[in-house]
Structures are given as structure tokens and as C-alpha cells.
Amino acid sequence: MTPQSCFMVAAPIAPGQETGLRALLATMNTAPGAVDPNNALVPFARFDRLHVARFVILHDETLDDLRLYGTTFENPPVWLVFLGDCDGPAEAMLAEFAALAGAGLTRIFGHCEGFSRGGDLLAWMQGRSVTPATQYVNWVGRTVRQIREEAALHAALRDRLQRGAAAFEAQSPLEVHRQLAASVRQDGPPLTPPAPTPFPWLASKIGNMIGVPLALLVLLPFFVLGAPFFLWELRRRETSDAVIVPRPAPEHVHSLSVLEDHDVTNQFSAFGIVKPGRFRLWTLLFIFWVLSFSTRQIYTRGRLARVGTIHFARWVFMDDHRRLLFCSNYDGSLDSYMDDFINKVAFGLNLVFSNGVGYPRTKFLLSGGAQEELAFKYFLRRHQVPTQVWYKAYPGLTTADLARNTRIREGLEAQTMIEAEAGRWLAMI
């Protein structure tokens, strides 16, 4: 199995360079929201281990909210971030970018502070790499290659079933399965067997599987002792923290919606400020620690809690933990995404985002918050920033498609199968 990893390069845009950079990034799209996969700057389609990638300018319009928390954010940098998810190590991905798209990336990053055109691009990018606080992969181990092969398999099987429908109707599901399996062995499409799982990755995962619960166990007595104080302080803050949820301006919403719904999958980038003070930050760090454990050990096969529509997501601290970036790639329109958040995982959203400035009022970190439907939707939309360039390697395919195609392949390769299983397998096609 080839594990996925994520890369992110973040650099402040040099003064006076933002407008030019926006114009340059726009040349990578055929229309706003629709990337040209073969664009001249970073021809994403050439990188066959790349799942998704984006360029985002993090220009936060909500910094004034901090005044309601009695503080300010002086001279905030405007960040350019380049991030994505890939098969195999992220370092190798960045090296590939530098090798195959060096000229384009040089033009892009030339708008950032501290970039020297003659210098080593890869070293510069590595120096500005940022690790997320938590990352989520819908299906750990499923490569771009596998996704494409399995989509081709589904199309081929559907086609063969359709063409032979008259003959297949009279046969038992097991017999149909046998014939289809034989036809794939003979005529393809080809299916590459999974690569061996890298040992260091596996070892670190097992270490994490044992280490985190162990650490939690050791810390448990301290948590029990500290809980009353923590809860008292938490409630004090939850009842007094300013809620800032005005309806987002129509122009802002328009700048976002023009980029959306060109494919079945959409991008989401949101930027906000962590509530000032150590209390919220430490709470957040602890939550991310537990969340990372869950996305590494538990939510690795198609679902993040009850939500199954997210391909990749991550939370990243910026500006020395003062700000938080959330990026995801999800199926459906933003409204259905937010409805899923509210109706299925409100508690999860609250755990993280209630530590952000302005979030709707929560109770004990879990309830309230996202359950304030409109306030929550306004909050998310207001903190969302336009994603200038967004690429996905398999347009038209949702996580549900990918999961179904994988199961079809598993069924095809199954050594033993009973009649009922074969029937269900056929129905999936």
C-alpha cells in the first residue's frame, strides 16, 4: 500500500505584488474555477501521483474582529500557499515540481518575499514547507493510479454487462462474475497490484496506535483533577466570548460562488484567527492531537465520522499559531457540505472552530455552535477565501464513486464468492 502525504509551501507576498500575482494565477484557469490541467505554469496533469492541489492567497478581511477581543493583529502578512495531496512522500513531490515546473513556480513565487530568482527553488520551497496540525485522507492507500484504473474497470464492466445483457440475463450471477473476471484477465483494463507498504510508515503508525492511548492513560489522572478548573474556565469563556456572525457581503459570496460547482467536487479554503490566549490554543493543540490520532487510526476508509464526502482535508496553524487555515476537497455543493457539518458532525466542527474568533456560541465545546444553522453558515462563508487555482486529478468522480469502484475491483479479484455476493457485486456495476 502506498500511503498519501500532503505538502504545503507558504510564503508572504511581497508588498505591491498581490495584484500581479492574482493576474498570473488566473492564467492557469480556462475560466474562474476551472483549471487548465495542462497550463503553462504548473501543468498538474503531468504529475501522476498528485491527487489535488491548489494555490490560495490568504487575504483575511476579518482581522478587525480581534478588536472585540481587546487586541489587534499588526502588519498581518498576506500569504500565498501552494498545497496538495499526493501518493508517496511529499518531499519527492516537491522535487518533482521543482524539476518539471521550475520555471512556472519561479514566476509564481517570484511575487513572494525572500525569493531570489537565481537560487535553489527546491530548497526555497522546502524552507517554507508547513506541516498541518491535522490532515485527513478519505481512503488511506488509494493511489491516483488505482483510482484511474478502477474507474476504467467500472466503465469497462458496465459496458460489457450492457452489451451482453441478453445473454447474461439467463445466467447465474456467479457465472456472470466468472466470465467478466476472465474477460478482464484477458482483455484488461490493466489493474496494477498494490505496492508494498513502506516499513517506516507502518512502524510509525503502529507506534502512534500504541503511544497515543498510552499517553492518554498516563495523563488521565491529571485530566480528572484538572477537569473542574478546565470546565469552569471554558464555560466562563464560552458565555462571554464575542460572537461575530454577520451575513457575508454579497460581493464576497459572489467571489466564492463563481469558483464553485464546475465539477462534482469543490474546494474549500477558510482562514481565521485563533482566540487570543493560551487557554484556547492549548485546548486546540490537544484536540488536534486526538483528531490526528483518529484520522490516522480510525477514519481511514471512506468516512470522517459520519461524513463521507471529503476527499482530503487539513488544518494548518499559521503566523506562529495565531491563525488557522482549513482546506478541504468535498463532493456536492457548499450548502450540502455545510448541512452535513450541521446535521452529522456538529460536535466535531465545534471542537475545533469554537476556538476561533467569532464562532457561534457553544456549550462545553460540543453542543450549540454549528447547530445555530444560519450563524454557522455565515461564519464559514465569511471566513472562506477564494481559491485562485484548484486541481483534482479525477474530475467527475466522487468519494462514493471511488469507494464503489474499489469494491468492484475487490469483488472481481475475490477468490471465493457465493451466489448472493455475486448478485450484489453485479448490482454495484
From the list 68, 258, 290, 414, which residue makes contact with other proteins (rule: CB under 8 A)? 258
CB 425 within 8 A of CB 173: yes
Residue 269 forms beta bridges with which residues? Answer: 327
Q: What's the gap between Cα 102 and its chain centre?
A: 25
Residues 184-213 close enough to bind other proteins by CB under 8 A: none
Q: Measured from the CB of residue 31, what is the shortest distance to other proteins in angstroms?
A: 10
From the list 74, 187, 320, 335, which residue makes contact with other proteins (rule: CB under 8 A)? 335
Q: What's the gap between Cα 359 and its chain centre?
A: 21
Provide the CB-side half-sphere exposure for 414 (13 A, CA): 18
**388 touching other proteins, by CB under 8 A:** no
Helix, strand or coil, per DSSP, at residue 273: strand
**110 touching other proteins, by CB under 8 A:** no
* Measured distance CA(282)–CA(272) in Å, rounded: 17
* Measured distance CA(112)–CA(13) in Å, rounded: 4
286: which residues sit within 8 A by CB, 6+ positions away?
none
Tell which residue, 378, 403, 402, 363, has the closest CA to residue 235.
363
Count the residues of the shown chain that bind other proteins, applying the rule CB under 8 A: 60
Nearest to other proteins of 122, 342 (CB atom): 342
* Measured distance CA(26)–CA(388) in Å, rounded: 7
Nearest to other proteins of 125, 244 (CB atom): 244
| Terminal Cα distance for the chain, rounded | 25
**303 touching other proteins, by CB under 8 A:** yes
Nearest to other proteins of 144, 274 (CB atom): 144
Helix, strand or coil, per DSSP, at residue 416: coil
Residue 270 forms beta bridges with which residues? Answer: 326, 384
From the list 60, 87, 150, 340, which residue makes contact with other proteins (rule: CB under 8 A)? 340
Nearest to other proteins of 18, 260 (CB atom): 260
CB 292 within 8 A of CB 6: no
From the list 84, 104, 173, 369, which residue makes contact with other proteins (rule: CB under 8 A)? 173
- Interacting span for other proteins (CB under 8 A) from 48-56, 273-281, 330-338, 408-416: 330-338
* Measured distance CA(125)–CA(121) in Å, rounded: 6
Cis amide leading into 189 (omega within 30): yes
* Measured distance CA(102)–CA(93) in Å, rounded: 13
Nearest to other proteins of 100, 345 (CB atom): 345
What 8-state DSSP symbol labels residue 356? B
Q: Measured from the CB of residue 258, what is the shortest distance to other proteins in angstroms?
A: 6
**141 touching other proteins, by CB under 8 A:** no
Nearest to other proteins of 66, 412 (CB atom): 412
**422 touching other proteins, by CB under 8 A:** yes
From the list 29, 257, 295, 297, which residue makes contact with other proteins (rule: CB under 8 A)? 257
Residues 357-386 close enough to bind other proteins by CB under 8 A: 371-374
Interface map 31-70 toward other proteins (x if CB under 8 A): ---x------------------------------------
- Interacting span for other proteins (CB under 8 A) from 87-95, 248-256, 277-285, 316-324: 248-256
- Which amino acid is located at 54 in the chain? R
From the list 41, 115, 398, 411, which residue makes contact with other proteins (rule: CB under 8 A)? 398
**302 touching other proteins, by CB under 8 A:** yes
Place of cell 478581511: 61
Question: Which positions touch other proteins (CB under 8 A)?
Answer: 34, 158, 161-162, 165, 168-169, 173, 176, 247, 250, 253-254, 257-258, 260-264, 298-299, 302-308, 331-333, 335-336, 339-340, 342-343, 347, 371-374, 394-398, 400-401, 403-404, 407, 422-427, 429
